[in-house]
A = this chain, B = another copy of it.
Amino acid sequence: MSQPITAADKTFIALRDDIVEGRIEAGSKLSETELSTKFAVSRAVIREAINRLESCHIVERKANVGARVVALSPQGLIELYQVRESLEGMAARLAATNMTDEEIADLSALLQSHFDEVKGGESYYQEAGDVDFHYRIILGSKNKHLISMLFDGIYHLVRMYRVQLGMAEPRVTTAYDEHKHIVQAILNRDAELAEMLMRRHILYSKNSIEHKLL
């Protein structure tokens, strides 16, 4: 679903954004009738949107009772990063063998442009750049399941934690070096190393967040 077509598509995305960005607060109940008036669509559309959100683990639903936005907890964030470490590690491994030379060149260029920003004093890691970097490697894995699990599922949840626990990624310059080494490994087609470096990169990230949180 690259482009939202049906009303259910649009409602799903709108509702997801409302939740991820915190306009609907974590842990709160989702009333179907209430939402259907808010978005000016029928309950059927709302129900489909909520079903999809449940598949993303953004809401939880009990039969005949209703749906609630997931509650955010330090434990939940840790579990999320464990999955990320596992999946993105594998993505980097696969990317090292499956990315085309051209894609790798593009990735290097992206990294270079990041370097210029760092040099220019702008703190590395506003989120956009970081996300873009990870996106390309995940896509580079060419593995459908990996791509959809991370893009449709994990990443929105990660962002939800970032926004709502209010932590802009703090590890400014070290992360750049880590990215650089990962690209180097991919350039060398060293799958083993690419995976290891990516896993450590995400593990560091997790530890840093964990440290600030507990």
Q: Which residues of A contact B (CB under 8 A)?
A: 1, 5-6, 9, 44, 47-48, 51-52, 55, 57, 63-64, 76, 79-80, 82-83, 85-87, 89-90, 94, 143-146, 148-149, 154
Question: How many copies of this kind of chain does the complex include?
Answer: 2
- Contact across chains for A63 and B146 when beta carbons are under 8 A apart: no
Partner of A82, one of B5, B79, B82, B94: B94
Q: Is the interface of A mostly helix, strand, loop or mixed?
A: helix
Partner of A63, one of B6, B51, B145: B6
- Contact across chains for B143 and A82 when beta carbons are under 8 A apart: yes
Assembled-state Cα–Cα distance A90/B90 (Å) = 11
In the complex, residue of chain B having the shortest beta-carbon distance to the beta carbon of A87: B86
In the complex, residue of chain B having the shortest beta-carbon distance to the beta carbon of A56: B55
In the complex, residue of chain B having the shortest beta-carbon distance to the beta carbon of A79: B143
Assembled-state Cα–Cα distance A45/B149 (Å) = 25
- Contact across chains for B80 and A90 when beta carbons are under 8 A apart: no
Partner of A51, one of B1, B52, B86, B90: B52
Assembled-state Cα–Cα distance A51/B154 (Å) = 19
